[in-house]
Structure 1
């Protein structure tokens, strides 16, 4: 009897220690959009949990562990879908996970990792497939700012294996899919932005702008690119320098 009580007490103590060595912060996010491209309003509700663990050497210090997400999609046709998501975190720098819908039929997953005064953000683009009733990752964009003066943008296009947002069954594609977010005439689109004296103000704006510039012929679109730099330079010299270095003469003074 005493042995059984001792074992039970040991188990309870172990559970208590495990609970006290972990901490969870909960946040919620709700976004609206036309996620399935049927011209009816949909809702995406996300419960995001940031997990912390105590350090082994310094039990008074909490360290980031991971982010877990429970998501619910409520579509305009009254169908409800659920998904889970997670991201491991650097113990010191942590991170944030969020979602938004910049275009009908598309959901973007944004994972942000701060590095002191700089940041790395990964955007996963999920495109709705009407036949499979799911969203599949077709593009990944990464913004990486290592210092105040240095930034980079990289794109990866998922043409072969595409990860779903709901469920775990991947989809394979042998050819690239048309991207509904890209303008049909990138140069014309860039000129229209210049007419409005537009310039990217946020990280996502800049990433989208760079992808448009990737579609523009550098020689034919030189003047339009120069005008964009002129509008951008007073507001963000790092981004202006990146455009000059990659889309204009590298020795050009701006």
Structure 2
């Protein structure tokens, strides 16, 4: 019933949604990915190898520098407790299929933790539900098998239905698409050992958003990173000898 209703809504609203989509693309400023390092080592303590993958939000669009973006905020927070070996692999416009392709292109190096932020482009591009779930399974399987990931954190899709850059009914419709993907992701992740879903619980307030009305701003990235860091610490705050990788020479 849900699938049938979604199809009917798509067909009935298609002409208006197409016009509004073109209007949004012309009107919304195209923000660049911020400058700054995308790999490094920082901090002190037990070694933690971290990979971050995803779309423009993972790439930090909306921040002036990677230090103010998700990667910078998260590595800064974790560096207080760990020696963090980190890498960022993210690109504006990437869907889940693109993220999978990027991960396949990595050398087969191990990571203790992988954070994936992807889904908004799949929602706006109307990725089929079966392809979405198959893509999640393929991505997580590769991360665990080829990169020995012990903890895979998927980011919940943001509340697209509240994005101020989108007019109605486009905002409502794309929000509905995002919610459908996110619900499916939440149901799926329960059955995946070592995999969890983490939301970014920041207020949908203009202070937390970039000036394009679509991407997070520095305040949102800080809240998001804090939530992720808490989940990572809960998994890895254990005696040094039990960590997956002990020293730089491992």
Shorter-chain TM range is: under 0.3
TM-score between the two structures when normalised by the length of structure 2: 0.22
TM-score between the two structures when normalised by the length of structure 1: 0.22
Of structures 1 and 2, the one with the larger relative CO (CA 8 A, separation 6+) is 2
Greater per-residue helix proportion: 2
Greater CA radius of gyration, 1 or 2? 1
Greater per-residue strand proportion: 1
